[in-house]
Amino acid sequence: MCPIWPLHIVILYILALCPIWVMCQSAPNLLATFKPNNLSLHMAYYDFIDVEVKGDGLQPADEFQIKSRNHHVAYGDWNSTYRVDEAASNWKGRFQVTAEFLGRTDLYLEVKRGTTEFPVNGTLPVTVLRPQRVIDTIFTTSVAVFVSLIFINFGCAMDWPTVKECVRRPIGPIIGLCGQFVFMPLMCFGLGFLIFPTLPEMHLGMFCTGVAPGGGASNIWTFVLGGNLNLSLAMTTISTLSAFGFMPLWLFSLGQLLFRNANIAVPYQHIGMFVAGLVVPLAIGLAMQKFTPRLSAFMVRILKGFSTLLLLFIIVFAIITNLYIFELFTWEIIVAGMGVPWLGYIFGYLAGRVCRQPHADALAISIETGITNTGIAIFLLRYTLPQPEADLTTVVPVSVAIMTPFPMMAIYIYQKIKACMGVSKSEERTRKSSKRVTPASYPGSPSPQSSLPLMSSEP
């Protein structure tokens, strides 16, 4: 007799039913075909996709689900029935794809049978792009016009003999060049490895920001904070012209190590346009000094207020037009945005003081080193990389542009507070000294407010 009698009969029945149960629960072998087989959409737009599923294993009451690898970029919703009515070898449906934010993702299908989900082979690549907006064109054009006007003002305020002296004894420009094209690229290259160890595209964006020449805002901030404007203008011009040689040198050496598959192209045309936009307004301002001295003097008088308003306009308008990009901000992006300009400021000022430059010159060197032309970096990335990677990597120079003015705004506020306190203390000392020297009133003495001479008391 069997030692497990009568349980052996139950076990035999279970063993006989197992293959049948496995066959019922086995995953279906299905392949999804999408028409079109890839999709590109602008943010906040949608499109419809036809899908056909072929294979074995579909059962009545099976349900298809649309999944996205990154729901923040794009997602799908059924526009037709998504339930299988009868057992068949193929199934057709239609769904809507909605683009949420720029980037890339894949949509795919899953079969839901009761509480179990089975994957379906085949994916739909979706690329979400940023549409070209009118406000972007307005911002770029208005900034170009205002910056040209303020460089005319700089030309009116420029002391040409001082500029020639800076070029004849180029201690300041040489320090600035070393900071701009030696320290900044190497610092961005090394710091990028620490911040973006697994994101070569972001590292490349940071490096491109570091190899860009000085920006026009450096001259504005130098003037507002009381630095040497003539030295700043000379350094900006030399830095921009030097970029024709230094940018290719860095991009085709360390740049290739960062992103070997990037077809890097140096935007010579964009750099040339920036040089023209710098030199021509300065020449107009210098001509106004010679031929219209009264108008030139008026332009110099309004320069500080105009510079402050322009800086506020650029900061506020840039934030408004690029609000979408704040969704990409992470702590790494914020640290990169602060690290690039702030370390440049520190290095430039310390290098200037070590080389025994006066405070005004060291301040100009510091600002020129820390402020980079993020416009050239953005243009370089958008020209080099495909979309949407180009827009995604520009978050680094945009972050740098946003974080650049904060230290200088703090210095400007400190200078204003110090000046107000100095005026108050000076007025207080003046009042006290006037009280000490004021003679005591006595009969026959003139009033302090009177301008009449003393009348003689003799008859």
**3-class secondary structure, 198:** coil
Side-chain-side CA neighbours of residue 177 (13 Å): 18
- Same domain (yes/no): 200, 316: yes
**3-class secondary structure, 106:** strand
- Same domain (yes/no): 89, 201: no
What was the pLDDT predicted at 175? 92
* Residue at which a domain ends, from 380, 398, 417: 417
Q: How large is the average pLDDT for residues 447-457?
A: 40
- Same domain (yes/no): 175, 79: no
441: pLDDT strictly greater than 50: no
What was the pLDDT predicted at 27? 54
Selected residue with higher pLDDT from 252 and 446: 252
Give me the number of domains the chain comprises: 2
- Same domain (yes/no): 206, 342: yes
**pLDDT class for 449, splitting at 50, 70, 90?**
very low
What was the pLDDT predicted at 426? 60
- Within-domain flag for 428: no
- Same domain (yes/no): 125, 138: no
* Residue at which a domain ends, from 79, 94, 129: 129
- Same domain (yes/no): 388, 410: yes
Residues 6 or more apart whose CB falls under 8 angstroms from that of 240 comprise 213, 214, 271, 274, 275, 278, 373
Determine how many CB atoms are found less than 10 A away from the CB of residue 459: 3
User: What is the Rg, in whole angstroms, of the alpha carbon atoms belonging to the chain?
Assistant: 35
In this structure, of 122-131, 157-166, 331-340, the range with the lowest mean pLDDT score is 157-166
* Residue at which a domain ends, from 129, 144, 175: 129
- Same domain (yes/no): 157, 172: yes
21: pLDDT strictly greater than 70: no
- Within-domain flag for 83: yes
- Same domain (yes/no): 78, 150: no
Each residue's pLDDT tens digit, 195-240? 988 888 888 889 989 988 777 678 888 888 888 888 888 888 788 7
What is the Cα–Cα distance from 47 to 129, expressed in whole angstroms?
14
- Within-domain flag for 52: yes
- Same domain (yes/no): 143, 96: no
Selected residue with higher pLDDT from 144 and 398: 398
Determine how many CB atoms are found less than 10 A away from the CB of residue 286: 18
- Three-state SS string across 285-298, please? HHHHHHHCHHHHHH
CATH number, domain with residue 125: 2.60.40.10
Q: How would you label 342-378 residue by residue, b for 16+ Cβ within 10 Å and e otherwise?
A: bbbbebbbebbeeeebeebbbbbbbbbbbbbbbbbbb
- Within-domain flag for 431: no
pTM of full prediction above 0.85: no
Range of the domain at 357: 134-417
- Same domain (yes/no): 83, 148: no
Range from 30-34, 294-298, 338-342, 432-436 that averages highest in pLDDT = 338-342
- Same domain (yes/no): 115, 197: no
Q: How large is the average pLDDT for residues 118-139?
A: 86
- Within-domain flag for 19: no
- Same domain (yes/no): 242, 175: yes
- Within-domain flag for 359: yes
- Within-domain flag for 166: yes
Each residue's pLDDT tens digit, 92-104? 889 999 999 888 8
Each residue's pLDDT tens digit, 348-380? 999 999 998 999 999 999 999 999 888 778 777
What percent of the chain has pLDDT above 70? Answer: 79
* Closest to 76 in 3D by CA, of 12, 123, 121: 123
- Within-domain flag for 446: no
CATH number, domain with residue 387: 1.20.1530.20
